[in-house]
């Protein structure tokens, strides 16, 4: 493909790869978007990820879900995301016309939180992850596609954070060990819980604090998807216990 693709073509390619388009923006210097492989300035950045378990079927079909010791590799989804988005970038014109970027490559890590807030209406939540007015906490960003041309993008939706009108903040009370206080996350307390028998509920269905949020409940991760993330998180962070 030699001509600059339009937004519809790009979103179709992402969906075919198992990824969900997550909006985009025209980059400014303050966005700190790396240059293209040939040094040209990036003009348009389009984010990709998942909404609910939209990627789960594609991911679980491409990769075995568990390692030799019956647990997911922490980087397994990152590896799949890299492979899938790189294939899309190649199909859209290769490294000169389309560069894939990823939130998990670093340090230094790319400012995907800033980019996400530039691309669509997502906002910091009391427990940390960005919240979407429709999807709640059940979404993620797996990468971005950078282009050296201006691509026409859909209008930025005028939405507010659902947390602004949420008085009870059930997410803060949802953690059984109080790992969230609205300003910080106690990793040791969380990991100590999920490596114990008491953490079985979190491990089976996903973080209870996240599940307590009333926004986007229809987008909750499927059980296998939720368990994958919890087991990978536990495997990565057991060292937090010393």
pLDDT tens sequence for the chain (242 residues)? 457 799 999 999 999 999 999 999 999 999 999 999 999 999 999 999 999 999 999 998 765 545 444 556 668 899 999 999 999 999 998 777 999 999 999 899 999 999 999 999 999 999 999 999 999 999 999 999 999 999 999 999 999 999 999 999 999 999 999 999 988 999 999 999 999 999 999 999 999 999 999 999 999 999 999 999 999 999 888 765 55
Strand partners, 144: 47, 101
Give this prediction's pTM.
0.92
Other C-beta atoms lying within 10 Å of the C-beta of residue 39:
7
Q: Rounded distance, CA 242 to CA 219, Å?
A: 35
How many Cα neighbours within 13 Å face the side chain of 54?
22
Phi, psi of 104 (to 5 degrees): -105, 5
List of residues 6+ apart from 198 with CB closer than 8 A: 176
Q: Rounded distance, CA 156 to CA 61, Å?
A: 33
């Amino acid at each position: 493909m030699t001509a600059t693709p339009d937004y519809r073509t790009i979103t179709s390619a992402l969906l075919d790869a198992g990824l969900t388009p997550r909006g985009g923006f025209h980059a400014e210097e303050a966005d700190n978007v790396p240059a293209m492989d040939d040094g040209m300035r990036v003009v348009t950045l389009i984010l990709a990820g998942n909404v609910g378990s939209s990627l789960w079927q594609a991911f679980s079909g491409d990769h075995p879900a568990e390692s030799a010791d019956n647990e997911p590799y922490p980087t397994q989804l990152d590896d799949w995301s890299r492979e899938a988005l790189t294939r899309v970038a190649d199909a859209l014109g290769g490294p000169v016309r389309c560069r894939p970027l990823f939130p998990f490559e670093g340090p230094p890590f790319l400012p995907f939180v800033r980019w996400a807030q530039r691309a669509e209406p997502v906002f910091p939540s009391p427990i940390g992850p960005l919240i979407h007015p429709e999807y709640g906490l059940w979404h993620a960003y797996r990468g971005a596609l950078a282009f050296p041309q201006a691509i026409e993008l859909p209008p930025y939706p005028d939405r507010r954070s659902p947390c602004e009108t949420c008085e009870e903040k059930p997410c803060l009370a949802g953690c059984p060990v109080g790992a969230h206080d609205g300003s910080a996350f106690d990793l040791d307390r969380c990991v100590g819980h999920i490596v114990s028998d008491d953490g079985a509920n979190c491990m089976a269905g996903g973080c209870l604090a996240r599940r307590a949020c009333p926004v986007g409940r229809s987008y909750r991760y499927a059980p296998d998807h939720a368990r994958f993330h919890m087991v990978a998180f536990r495997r990565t962070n057991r060292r937090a216990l010393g």
